[in-house]
Structure 1
Amino acid sequence: MAGTLPRQGLDAQGCIEREGSLARVPHDFRPVVAAARDRLLDVFGGRMHSAYLYGSIPRGTARVGRSDLDLLVVLRAEPTDGDREDARLLGEALDKEFRRIDGVGTLLYSKARVLSEPERYDMGWFVACMCTPLLGEDLAEYLPRYRPDSLLARETNGDLALLLPRWRERIAAADSDEARRPLLRFMSRHLVRTGFTLVMPRWNGWTSDLTEMAEAFGLYYPGRAEQMRAAAVLGYEPTSDPAVLRSYVDDLGPWLADEYARVHGVKAPRPD
């Protein structure tokens, strides 16, 4: 059955195609993208090398009032605490002004870090394939083409075992529905994406759609398929159920981390 699935997200050479473009940004989200572009320049100025959009807005699948604005800012030097605070304040201001988005997330990296050898199959791949250029020079010009192989799987999501203890701490600290809901959304998405990249080399394709990711995973792990489908639903429409969060760190997460390490190995260590 898996072998009859059409290949998705790859070019004629079998490399992952870059997803998203400014042309695909839905009309309702163009004002917030324009505002983000202008304010990034105001806030970071000459410290910024380039900036990118990623996620549902440049893919053209964003939902008004439900989707967040995802930004990646590449700085000329390593980000400081001041840079992170500037990014946080910028995100809060955009979120408050534009009710059509549900939050702003901003990743900060240095140019040297993105182009470093340890990040070539992680952050480098992310910039080259998942990010849409918004400002500055596109770092994808300095990066290779990427195939959906075991190396990419290991270096993108082969660190789940290291994350689980932190997740347990965050779950323990989440003492309200308001705190648990975004946590459930984040963890659901992370687990679905990890489940997908586990099977990505066998499936031989790429998708960023959580439902499609869960279905691809289920082709190879039918015993866990319903869990992954449920996580995909919660990735789009999260609840605040603490039992689900516990199941992620007590059952699905540990199993997935062990299976990932068995199939692809463990992600190479990073400074942070």
Structure 2
Amino acid sequence: MLAQSQFEFQSDFQPAVQDALRFFKAGLGTNLHSVYVYGSVARHSAVSTRSNLDLVVITHRPFEDNRTTLMNTVQWRFQRSFPHVKGLNVKLALAKEVASLDSIFSWGFLLRQCCTCIYGEDLGECFGDYEPSWEIAKFWNSDVADWIRNGRQKIAIAKTAQEQSQAQIRIAKKLLRASYSVVMHKHKRWIDDPIECGEEFVRFYPDKQIEIDRLGILLSGRVIPKRSVVGLIDSYGQWLLKEYERTEFKIG
């Protein structure tokens, strides 16, 4: 079992991580199997007021009877105690589902490549090292078309600058990471930071520099006229979907 003193994150986020861990240990007791941090906090690149705290919480048994109460309580605690943390995202799973061959591209990849275990038995160790491949890229971006459609809609219906800014950031992150996934099997590296994903992508597709630069502007949170944002999502999004199809045809 990993002691709390064995993990350190950025000073702005360390108390939030520790508080979340204490809460889940108290709320789940012996049902708690392990807890992991992923995303910008795990990468030590989180930005105060802009970054979420992303957690994976794995339990031995389902806890549907008090799940809603538990999650609502932890969300309330975070809004009150850590206003500089933009949000708390929690993925829940059962240990028996994670440690199975059926989860090799989903939970296995996430825990092994993207997470830091902060409590309990690290299930990432059940899986070997992953080589950057088209199969993994395809699995994790099978929902790109849905993201494009939903992102476009959220931009269009945003009623405030804050809503639009948040929607822009979400779709920009997805498109930048999905872009890198097209070349990941060539670059042979694991990259999660959206800006770095875009930079590496244009090394292989220099003709898309303008589109990647524009996605970087959306990622900054700067509010852009809706027509321009929707136009970018439509044009670049459709090109990206076709490039996925073309890559799948070549690699299979």
TM-score norm. by structure 1 comes to: 0.79
Q: In structure 2, do the counterparts of structure 1 residues 227 and 96 end up closer, same or farther at CA, with 3 Å as the change threshold?
A: farther
CA distance in structure 2 between the aligned counterparts of 1:261 and 1:85, rounded to whole angstroms: 43
Q: Which residue of 1 aligns with 2:207?
A: 223
Q: Given that residues 91 and 104 in structure 1 are in contact (C-alpha distance below 8 angstroms), is that contact kept between their aligned partners in structure 2?
A: yes
Q: Distance in 1 between matches of 2:62 and 2:28?
A: 13
Deviation at 1:210, TM superposition (A): 2.1
Query: Which residue of the other structure, out of 7, 22, 25, is the alignment partner of 1:41?
Result: 25
Q: Do residues 55 (structure 1) and 42 (structure 2) align? A: no
Q: Give how far 1:173 is off.
A: 4.0
Change (3 A) 1:29 1:162: closer
1:114 aligns with 2:114: no
Alpha carbons of structure 1 residues 235 and 22: separation in structure 2 relative to 1, 3 Å = farther
> Is the 8 Å Cα contact of residues 147 and 174 (structure 2) preserved in structure 1?
no
Task: Tell me how far apart the structure 2 counterparts of residues 222 and 182 of structure 1 sit (CA, whole Å).
Answer: 28
CA-CA distance at 1:129 after TM superposition: 0.8
Contact 2:59/2:95, CA 8 A, preserved across alignment? yes
Aligned length: 245
Quote the RMSD (CA, aligned, Å). 2.6
Partner SS state of residue 102, structure 1: coil
Following the alignment from structure 2 to structure 1, what is the Cα–Cα distance between the partners of residues 84 and 221? 17
User: What is the Cα deviation at residue 92 of structure 1?
Assistant: 3.5
1:1-272 aligned at under 5 Å gives the runs: 23-77=7-61, 80=64, 83=67, 86-239=70-223, 241-264=225-248
* Equivalent position SS for 2:34: strand
Instruction: Flag the 1:178–1:89 CA change in 2: closer, same or farther, 3 A.
Output: farther
Cα distance in 1 for partners of 2:210, 2:229 equals: 16
Where does structure 1 differ by over 6 angstroms across 4 or more consecutive aligned residues? none
Would the aligned equivalents of 2:165 and 2:221 in 1 still touch at CA under 8 Å? Answer: no
AA partner of residue 97 (structure 1): S
Letter in 2 for 1:30: Q
The structural deviation recorded for 1:123 is: 2.8
Q: Percent of counterpart pairs with the same letter?
A: 26
Counterpart-to-counterpart distance in 2, 1:195 and 1:116: 29
TM-score, normalised via structure 2 length? 0.84
**Per the alignment, do residues 113 and 99 of structure 1 end up closer, same or farther by CA in structure 2, a change over 3 Å counting?**
same
Q: Which structure 2 segments of 5+ residues have no match?
A: none
Letter in 2 for 1:64: S
Q: 1: distance between equivalents of 2:65 and 2:238?
A: 33
CA distance in 1, matches of 2:64, 2:237: 32
- What secondary structure, in the 3-state scheme, does the structure 1 residue paired with 2:180 have? helix
Q: Is the 8 A contact 1:113 1:119 kept in 2?
A: yes
